[in-house]
Amino acid sequence: MKIAIDLMGGDNAPISNIKGSIDFLDEINDKSIHIYFVGDKPKILSHRTLFTKFKKQISIIHSSDVIKSDERSAKFHKTRPDSSLVKSINLIKNDKADAVISAGNTGALLTTSLFLIGKIPGISRPALAPYVPTQKNGFLLCDAGANVNIKPKHLLEFSVMCQIYLEQILNISNPKVGLLNIGSEPLKGNDLTIEAFSLLNDNINNFYGNIEPRYIFDGYVDVVVCDGFTGNLILKTIEGLIKNTFERLSSNIKANFLSKLASPLMKPAFNNLKSSLDYEEYGGTSILGVNGIVYKAHGSSSSKGIKNTYHSVYNSHRNDVLKRIKDRMKKIDNNE
């Protein structure tokens, strides 16, 4: 397997990307894997001591440009061909890589993937589907920001892709899909959710029905589907709430003398909770629907987040997730 990584993408590039790559190769112990470091070659070589051990499994592809996280354009594939992100995606297009990882600009990664490698036949809108950890395992949230305005058929596509992803990557048998809504009744919500309810009910095995936001953490569903605007708000609210909760817990413990005395006893439970809610434990987010394996790692990923994104990429390729999505979409198109 050949994996390209946009080494200059992300807040902690290139160090975290290099270290995460090496940690993955150390853990996976598979000599058939080759990694392309795409980025500023002199800068990469200044850290060569980090990857000397795996120099036979790593190639450097020089790029002189980096797309920053705050830049916006739908034409980076034309205007920034020498950027590390665009060069990485071109490796899939030219059959030189099986997958791409980037912690860089999400919009640029999505649009560049669409223009250079296209969509899976039968999929009209690719989507972002991050895994959200909870006390009861977790769920995929789809879409989390790629599509602000959608149609009911897009929610059907998201549901199919997420079910296959969970079956193959997390070994969840017959994942349950919930449609995010303001109430549980079939006729609740707006035109989008009302029509989508009927469509999902007719075409999705193990469709739970509508699910309200307050219940998505309770383990009722494995997939929560919604439009990208709503999904992005949900995701960012979760991230902010987790951060605020841990800050308040820490502040309250430090403010109370008895709590300070008991803190060594509470520390293991506190650390276990923090670890279970850590997005880096679950790797990056697959851009489902593009005709290739493309993963978006969190912009602030440490080496741990990058390493775990590699593991998700590896499992996607090994379990042929792309082909399984294509086969399922063919059956839906043929009304099978």
For residue 224, which of 140, 283, 328, 136 has the smallest C-alpha distance?
A: 140
Residue 251, number of CB atoms within 10 A of its CB: 10
Q: Domain check: are 58 and 90 in the same one?
A: yes
Instruction: Report the C-alpha gap between 62 and 117 in whole angstroms.
Output: 21
Tell me the pLDDT tens digit for each residue of 291-324: 999 999 999 999 999 999 999 999 999 999 999 9
Q: How many residues does the chain have?
A: 336
The phi and psi torsions of 211 (rounded to 5 degrees) equal -135, 130
Q: For the chain, how big is the Rg over CA atoms in Å?
A: 21
Q: Which residue has the higher pLDDT, 137 or 210?
A: 210
Instruction: Report the C-alpha gap between 251 and 101 in whole angstroms.
Output: 37
Q: Domain check: are 267 and 310 in the same one?
A: no
Q: Are 285 and 276 in contact (CB under 8 A)?
A: no
Whether 282 is covered by a domain: the verdict is: no
Prior bond to 213 cis, omega within 30?
A: no
C-alpha dihedral over 154, 158, 164, 168, to 10 degrees? 150
DSSP reduced 3-state for 265: helix
CATH of the domain at 86: 3.40.718.10
Distances (CA, A) of 158 to 15, 101, 280, 303, 319: 34, 21, 23, 29, 19
Instruction: Report the C-alpha gap between 269 and 184 in whole angstroms.
Output: 34
pLDDT at 188 over 60: yes
pLDDT of residue 330: 84
Q: What is the DSSP letter of 295?
A: E
Q: Domain check: are 138 and 264 in the same one?
A: yes
Residue 248 pLDDT grade (very low, low, confident, very high; cuts 50, 70, 90): confident
Mean pLDDT value across residues 116-137:
91
Q: Domain check: are 190 and 269 in the same one?
A: yes
For residue 192, which of 220, 151, 164, 233 has the smallest C-alpha distance?
A: 151
Residue 259 pLDDT grade (very low, low, confident, very high; cuts 50, 70, 90): low
Q: Domain check: are 29 and 87 in the same one?
A: yes
Per-chain mean pLDDT for the chain: 92
The 3-class SS string of 201-254 reads HHHCCCEEEEECHHHCCCCCCCEEECCHHHHHHHHHHHHHHHHHHHHHHHHHHH
The phi and psi torsions of 227 (rounded to 5 degrees) equal -75, 160
CA 83 from centroid of its chain's CA atoms: 22
Tell me the pLDDT tens digit for each residue of 211-230: 999 999 999 999 999 999 99
- Name the residue range of residue 135's domain: 128-277
Structure-token match 């994104």, residue found: 309
Q: Domain check: are 111 and 138 in the same one?
A: no
Q: Are 38 and 4 in contact (CB under 8 A)?
A: yes
Whether 330 is covered by a domain: the verdict is: no
Tell me the pLDDT tens digit for each residue of 154-166: 999 999 999 999 9
Q: Domain check: are 263 and 235 in the same one?
A: yes
Whether 283 is covered by a domain: the verdict is: no
The partner residues of 34 in beta bridges, in order of sequence, read: 2
Q: Domain check: are 115 and 136 in the same one?
A: no
Residue 170 pLDDT grade (very low, low, confident, very high; cuts 50, 70, 90): confident
pLDDT at 243 over 90: no
DSSP string, 76-130: HHHH-TTBHHHHHHHHHHTTS-SEEEE-S-HHHHHHHHHHHH-B-TT-SS-EE--
Q: Domain check: are 109 and 132 in the same one?
A: no
Tell me the pLDDT tens digit for each residue of 34-88: 999 999 999 999 999 999 999 999 999 999 999 999 999 999 999 999 999 999 9
CA 304 from centroid of its chain's CA atoms: 15
The partner residues of 38 in beta bridges, in order of sequence, read: 6, 61
Q: Domain check: are 271 and 133 in the same one?
A: yes
Q: Domain check: are 169 and 84 in the same one?
A: no
Q: Domain check: are 148 and 227 in the same one?
A: yes
pLDDT of residue 262: 64
